[in-house]
Amino acid sequence: MIAGIGVDIVSVERIKKLYEKFSMRFLNRVFNEREIHYCFRHSNPFPHLAARFAAKEALIKAFRKSAGLRLKDIEIISNVDGSPDIVLPEAFRERIFLSISHEQNHAIAFVVVSNEN
């Protein structure tokens, strides 16, 4: 059964400006080391950062903000096949489906939370 859905769209330029203004302070508030490393492996890390930011926001919306999650509690990973996935603290048992996409100017994420394992 679907417990929640969430969608978020983020301007890549917005993420870039936050990084330029706050540097690692911004990154460390939102992302973990693996996420930062993954994004900065690319020649332009900002679409990847924006996509992960959108995914985290979409998940919080899908949980209806009642889960008490902070952005940094949520990890967005890339599976071996390149598909995105979400890693949460152990207390969360829901099944989560994630789709993200990004291009030069925008990133979007769509999340479906199911309470069926």
d(CA 11, CA 51): 9
Single-letter amino acid code for the residue at 10: V
> Is the CB of residue 108 less than 8 Å from the CB of residue 9?
yes
Task: Say if residue 65's pLDDT is above 80.
Answer: no
> Is the CB of residue 71 less than 8 Å from the CB of residue 36?
no
Single-letter amino acid code for the residue at 7: V
**Residue 44: what pLDDT?**
97
Task: Say if residue 54's pLDDT is above 90.
Answer: yes
Question: Which two structure tokens, joined as six digits, stand for 82?
Answer: 């390149």
Confidence bin at 92 (pLDDT 50/70/90): confident
CATH code of the domain in which 95 resides: 3.90.470.20
**Residue 117: what pLDDT?**
66
Indicate whether this model's pTM tops 0.85. Answer: yes
For residue 85, what are the CA distances in angstroms to 3, 23, 96, 105? Answer: 18, 26, 8, 22
pLDDT of 25-36, one tens digit each?
A: 999 999 999 999
Domain membership of residue 14 as a residue range? 2-114
R_g of the chain computed on alpha carbons:
14
Confidence bin at 64 (pLDDT 50/70/90): confident
d(CA 72, CA 46): 17
**Residue 69: what pLDDT?**
85
Question: Which two structure tokens, joined as six digits, stand for 117?
Answer: 């394992």
Task: Say if residue 82's pLDDT is above 70.
Answer: yes
* Counted domains in the chain: 1
